[in-house]
Chains A and B, each alone.
Chain A
Amino acid sequence: MPDGQELEHFDEIVSEFVAEMQELLDQLDEDLVQLEAEGGNHELLKEIFRILHTIKGTSGFLNFDRIQLLAHRLEDLLAQLKDGRLEVSQDVMDVLLAGADRLKGLLGKIREERTDEGIEVEDLVASVEDLLKRLDETPPKATERKEVDTELLGDFLTEVQELLDGLEEHLVELEARPDDPELFDEIFRALHTIKGASGFLGFSRMSELAHGAEEVLDRLRKGRMSMDRNVMDGLLAVLDTLRRLFRDIKEEGEERTDIGTAISTLEALLEGKALEEVRKARAGPGALGAVETIRVNVKRLDQLMDLVGELVLNRNRLLQLNGEIGTKYRGERIAEELDLATSHLDLLTSELQEMVIKTRMVPVGRVFNKFPRLVRDLCRASGKEARLVMEGQDTEVDKTVIEEIGDPLVHLIRNAVDHGIELPEEREKLGKPREGLIRLYAAQEGNRIVIGIEDDGRGMDAEKIKRRAIERGLLSPDEADRMDDRTIWNLVFLPGFSTADKVTDVSGRGVGLDVVHTNVNKLNGSVSLDSIPGKGTKVEIRLPLTLAIIQGLVVRVGKELYVVPLSSVEEAVRVGPGDIYKIQRREVIRLRDTVLPLVRLDRLFEVPEDGREDEEYVVVIGTKERRVGLVVDDLVGQEEVVIKSLGKLLRDTPAIAGATIRGDGRVCLIVDVNEMMTLA
Chain B
Amino acid sequence: MEAKDGHRTGEVLELVGFRLEGEEFGVPIRDVREIIRMQEVTRVPHAPDFVEGVINLRGQIVPIIDLRRRLGMSPKESDRDTRIVIVELDGELAGFVVDSVTEVLRVLEDQIEPPPDMVVKQDYITGVGKLEDRLLILLDLCKVLSKEEQGKRRMVEEGEASEGLEVPKAPEEELCRMDRS
A1 to B90 alpha-carbon distance, docked (Å): 32
Within A613-656, the residues touching B (CB, 8 Å) are 644-656
With A648-B92, A648-B175 known to touch, is A666 a contact of B42 (CB < 8 Å)?
A: yes
A307 to B59 alpha-carbon distance, docked (Å): 7
Contact at A560–B43, with CB atoms within 8 Å?
yes
With both beta carbons as reference points, the residue of chain B lying nearest to A642 in the complex is identified as B59
A645 to B61 alpha-carbon distance, docked (Å): 7
With A650-B51, A650-B54 known to touch, is A656 a contact of B45 (CB < 8 Å)?
A: yes
Q: How many A residues are at the interface, by size bracket?
A: 20 to 34
Q: Hey, which chain B residues are within 8 Å of A655, CB to CB?
A: 45-46
**Partner of A606 from B59, B90, B165 at Cβ < 8 Å:** B165
Interface: B145 (CB within 8 A):
yes
A386 to B83 alpha-carbon distance, docked (Å): 68
With A649-B145, A667-B56 known to touch, is A656 a contact of B44 (CB < 8 Å)?
A: yes
Supply 14 A–B pairs (Cβ within 8 Å), ascending by A: A310-B59, A560-B42, A560-B43, A604-B45, A647-B61, A647-B94, A648-B92, A648-B173, A653-B168, A655-B45, A659-B61, A661-B61, A667-B56, A669-B44
Interface: B60 (CB within 8 A):
yes
Q: Hey, which chain A residues are within 8 Å of B157, CB to CB?
A: none
Interface: B158 (CB within 8 A):
no
- Shortest C-beta distance, A666 to chain B (Å), equals 6
Q: Hey, which chain A residues are within 8 Å of B54, CB to CB?
A: 646, 650, 659, 667
Interface string of B111-152 (1 = CB under 8 A from A): 000000000000000000000000000000000010000000
Q: Hey, which chain A residues are within 8 Å of B60, CB to CB?
A: 306, 644
Q: Hey, which chain A residues are within 8 Å of B92, CB to CB?
A: 647-649
Contact at B171–A667, with CB atoms within 8 Å?
no
Given contacts A646-B54, A647-B62, A653-B47, 19 further A-B contacts (CB under 8 A): A306-B59, A310-B59, A605-B45, A606-B45, A645-B61, A646-B44, A648-B171, A649-B48, A649-B145, A650-B51, A653-B46, A653-B168, A654-B46, A655-B45, A659-B42, A661-B59, A661-B61, A667-B42, A667-B56
A223 to B38 alpha-carbon distance, docked (Å): 77
Tally A-B pairs: CB < 8 A.
86
With A313-B59, A647-B63 known to touch, is A653 a contact of B165 (CB < 8 Å)?
A: no
Interface: B77 (CB within 8 A):
no
Which A residues are within 8 Å of any B CB, using their own CB?
306-307, 309-310, 313, 560, 604-607, 644-656, 659, 661, 665-669
**Partner of B63 from A605, A649, A654, A666 at Cβ < 8 Å:** A649
Q: Hey, which chain A residues are within 8 Å of B97, CB to CB?
A: none
Q: Hey, which chain B residues are within 8 Å of A647, CB to CB?
A: 61-63, 92-94
Chain A to chain B: the 3 pairs with minimum beta-carbon distance, closest first: A310-B59, A605-B45, A667-B42
Q: Hey, which chain B residues are within 8 Å of A644, CB to CB?
A: 60-61
Give how many B residues have a beta carbon under 8 Å from the other chain's beta carbons. Answer: 31
A659 to B175 alpha-carbon distance, docked (Å): 20
Interface string of B14-58 (1 = CB under 8 A from A): 000000000000000000000000001011111110010111101
Interface: B4 (CB within 8 A):
no
Interface: B7 (CB within 8 A):
no
Q: Hey, which chain B residues are within 8 Å of A656, CB to CB?
A: 44-46
Q: Hey, which chain A residues are within 8 Å of B93, CB to CB?
A: 647
The interface residues of chain B, by DSSP majority, are classed as loop
A667 to B62 alpha-carbon distance, docked (Å): 10
Interface: B172 (CB within 8 A):
yes
Contact at A650–B63, with CB atoms within 8 Å?
yes
Q: Hey, which chain B residues are within 8 Å of A309, CB to CB?
A: 59
Contact at A646–B59, with CB atoms within 8 Å?
no
A667 to B42 alpha-carbon distance, docked (Å): 6
Which B residues are within 8 Å of any A CB, using their own CB?
40, 42-48, 51, 53-56, 58-63, 90, 92-94, 145, 165, 168-169, 171-173, 175
With A646-B63, A649-B63, A650-B47 known to touch, is A667 a contact of B55 (CB < 8 Å)?
A: yes
Contact at B171–A646, with CB atoms within 8 Å?
no
A410 to B62 alpha-carbon distance, docked (Å): 39
Contact at A666–B47, with CB atoms within 8 Å?
no
Q: Hey, which chain A residues are within 8 Å of B40, CB to CB?
A: 666
Contact at B171–A652, with CB atoms within 8 Å?
yes
**Partner of A652 from B58, B62, B172, B175 at Cβ < 8 Å:** B172
- Shortest C-beta distance, B133 to chain A (Å), equals 37
- Shortest C-beta distance, B38 to chain A (Å), equals 14
Q: Hey, which chain A residues are within 8 Å of B55, CB to CB?
A: 667
A103 to B42 alpha-carbon distance, docked (Å): 53
A651 to B54 alpha-carbon distance, docked (Å): 12
A401 to B44 alpha-carbon distance, docked (Å): 28
Contact at A650–B44, with CB atoms within 8 Å?
yes
With A647-B92, A652-B171 known to touch, is A667 a contact of B46 (CB < 8 Å)?
A: no
A665 to B60 alpha-carbon distance, docked (Å): 11
Q: Hey, which chain A residues are within 8 Å of B44, CB to CB?
A: 646, 650, 653, 656, 669
Contact at A310–B61, with CB atoms within 8 Å?
no
Contact at B165–A649, with CB atoms within 8 Å?
no
- Shortest C-beta distance, B154 to chain A (Å), equals 16
Q: Hey, which chain A residues are within 8 Å of B58, CB to CB?
A: 310
A646 to B46 alpha-carbon distance, docked (Å): 13
A653 to B169 alpha-carbon distance, docked (Å): 8
A661 to B90 alpha-carbon distance, docked (Å): 24
- Shortest C-beta distance, B92 to chain A (Å), equals 5
A645 to B46 alpha-carbon distance, docked (Å): 16
Q: Hey, which chain B residues are within 8 Å of A669, CB to CB?
A: 42, 44-45
- Shortest C-beta distance, B82 to chain A (Å), equals 19
Contact at A654–B42, with CB atoms within 8 Å?
no
Q: Hey, which chain B residues are within 8 Å of A313, CB to CB?
A: 59
Contact at A666–B61, with CB atoms within 8 Å?
no
Q: Hey, which chain B residues are within 8 Å of A607, CB to CB?
A: 45
- Shortest C-beta distance, B179 to chain A (Å), equals 19
Contact at A661–B56, with CB atoms within 8 Å?
yes
With A560-B43, A667-B56, A669-B44 known to touch, is A646 a contact of B165 (CB < 8 Å)?
A: no
Contact at B45–A653, with CB atoms within 8 Å?
yes
Q: Hey, which chain B residues are within 8 Å of A652, CB to CB?
A: 168-169, 171-172
Interface centre among A307, A606, A648, A665 (most CB of B within 10 A): A648
Contact at B42–A668, with CB atoms within 8 Å?
yes
Q: Hey, which chain A residues are within 8 Å of B165, CB to CB?
A: 606
With both beta carbons as reference points, the residue of chain A lying nearest to B163 in the complex is identified as A606
- Shortest C-beta distance, A124 to chain B (Å), equals 45
- Shortest C-beta distance, A678 to chain B (Å), equals 14
A665 to B46 alpha-carbon distance, docked (Å): 23
A654 to B94 alpha-carbon distance, docked (Å): 20
